[in-house]
Amino acid sequence: MVRCTLAHVDLAALEANYRAIEAFVAARTPPARRPPAIIAVVKANAYGHGARHVALALERAGASTLACADIEEGVALRRAGARGRILVFGALSVSDLSGLFDDDLTPTCSTPGAGRALQAAAAARGRRLRYHLKIDTGLNRLGFRHDHLRATLPELFASPNLDLAAVYTHFATADDPTHPLFDLQRQRFAAALETIRGLGAIVPARHAANSAAIVRDARTWHDFVRPGLLLYGVSPAGAPADLPLRPVLSLRSRIVSVKHVRPGEGVGYGARFIAETPRVVAIVPAGYADGLDARLGGRGQVLVGGRRTPIVGAVSMDMLAVDVTGTTVEPGDEVVFLGQQGGERITVAEMAAAIGTIPYEILCRIGARIERVYDEAR
Ligand SMILES: *Cc1c(COP(=O)(O)O)cnc(C)c1O
């Protein structure tokens, strides 16, 4: 049994996006240099798309490294059959570290305490552990402060069981072309790398660029780039022409009921929508429990019969209403929340803008109740 509200995930589009990013960075890397490799970011259930299928599709497309938020996600990726390297971004202080060893995950070390815990865990198992070192260059979230490295790093670098595999940082404002912090972070990262070399460490690889930085500034690419959003076919701020992306996810449902509303009557909880003239509303069985934000009521649109149709009244937990006055619709007709129908398309970016949030949140909040259906790559 399958509910009629479905998320279709186009794995062929995902793989095409992976290759498009690869081609984009390769084309813009000077001939004498090696283009950056891709760390494909699949945290948060692959931005709501389903980590298992997405991880395997990305590996098919050539991804040698995946990245996730925590050890638990990394273990799930291994269980799903991911064979390449798996980088864990998150802090480790409250995690069971055994997954790192049992499932061959690569941790991020972002505090001196994490370094001690990793060293102790590796020593206790008689193992060596590769790790990526995170430098905080201004995001003020995770990472060793860029201006305190001479004090904080020597102990980590002296850890007998730990091998530095890469050094990275993360940008706070890559998607804001006017914000000066981006350039400042780039410069601080360069200085941090100098300091690290000055401490005698060999830095096998460096990385910094999320999707917005990939599109924005080739100087941030280094040895790896770390796209998330771009893989899913969403560009943070207008993709360049030579980075063609295809939307990966579409969200569809069906009309389950059609209702005639008389002037003066309200629709839905709170009677927030009042019909001024005779209206016809169609009820769609998807609501905020499915990740359709309550703020879409009165703000968002869907596609019905190839036309844009407004969401009216309050979004409820399991259903919402759209105004289909003047069209001929009946139960069973397709409703598109995200994706294409006829010549019209509603993008993740459009839905995010309608309710004042970011595309990431729209994708990540698509509910667990919604089945993901995979169109396999051919
Ligand atoms: C989520 C994340 C990314 C990917 O970000 P996008 O903006 O989706 O490309 C890259 N690096 C780190 C550290 C992240 O947490």
**Residue 363: which residues within 8 A CB-CB, separation 6 or more?**
47, 48, 49, 232, 234, 249, 348
- Domain over 249-375 is classified CATH 2.40.37.10: yes
CB 303 within 8 A of CB 252: no
Domain borders along the chain are 36-232, 249-375
Query: Phi and psi at residue 164, in whole multiples of 5°?
Result: -70, 120
Active-site residues: which are they? 43, 269
* Residue 90 Cβ contacting ligand 1 at under 6 Å: no
**Token couple for 34:** 């090696």
pTM score above 0.85: yes
User: Using a 6 Å cutoff on CB, does residue 229 contact ligand 1?
Assistant: yes
Distance CA 22, CA 225 (A): 10
Q: Does domain 36-232 sit in CATH 1.10.1740.10?
A: no
Q: So what's the pLDDT on residue 307?
A: 96
pLDDT at 127: 98
Nearest to 378 by CA among 112, 128, 15: 15
- Ligand 1 probe mutation, 171, 210, 248, 358, most atoms within 8 A of CB: 210
The residue to mutate among 24, 89, 221, having the most atoms of ligand 1 within 8 angstroms of its beta carbon, is: 89
pLDDT in tens, the chain (378 residues): 778 999 999 999 999 999 999 999 999 999 999 999 999 999 999 999 999 999 999 999 999 999 999 999 999 999 999 999 999 999 887 778 999 999 999 999 999 999 999 999 999 999 999 999 999 999 999 999 999 999 999 999 999 999 999 999 999 999 999 999 999 999 999 999 999 999 999 999 999 999 999 999 999 999 999 999 999 999 877 778 889 999 999 999 999 999 999 999 999 999 999 999 999 999 999 999 999 999 999 999 999 999 999 999 999 999 999 999 999 999 999 999 999 999 999 999 999 999 999 999 999 999 999 999 998 754
Q: Are 289 and 325 in contact (CB under 8 A)?
A: no
Distances (CA, A) of 319 to 265, 274, 289: 19, 18, 9
- How far apart are the CA of 225 and the centre of ligand 1, in A? 10
Say what the pLDDT of residue 272 is.
92
Q: For residue 46, report the distance from its CA to the centre of ligand 1, in Å.
A: 11
Residue 23, phi then psi, degrees to nearest 5: -70, -40
What is the reported pLDDT for 377?
54
Contact indicator for 247, 17 with CB cutoff of 8 Å:
no
Contact 227 CB / ligand 1 (< 6 Å): yes
**Pocket of ligand 1 contains residue 245 by CB under 6 Å:** no
CA 47 to ligand 1 centroid distance, Å: 11
Residue 77, judged by CB atoms within 10 A of its CB (0-12, 13-18, 19+), counts as buried
DSSP code at position 62: T
Contact 170 CB / ligand 1 (< 6 Å): yes
Residue the block writes with tokens 């240099």: 33
Predicted pLDDT of residue 311: 98
> To test ligand 1's pocket by mutation, which of 168, 173, 226 has the most ligand atoms within 8 angstroms of CB?
226
Length of the chain: 378
Sequence-separated (6 or more) residues with CB below 8 Å from residue 162: 109, 115, 118, 119, 122, 128, 129, 131, 156
Contact in structure between 192 and 186 (CB atoms under 8 Å) = no
| CA 237 – ligand 1 centroid, Å | 15
Instruction: Quickly tell me which residue has 């209403």 as its tokens.
Output: 321
Q: Which amino acid is at 79?
A: R
Which residue type is seen at 294?
Answer: A
Residue 285 tokens, joined: 């069985």
DSSP letter (8 states) at residue 70: S
Using the atom order of ligand 1, give the atom closest to the CA of residue 212. 7
Q: Whose CA is nearest to atom 4 of ligand 1?
A: 228
Q: How far is CA 126 from CA 28, 119, 122, 243, 289, in A?
A: 43, 10, 6, 46, 47
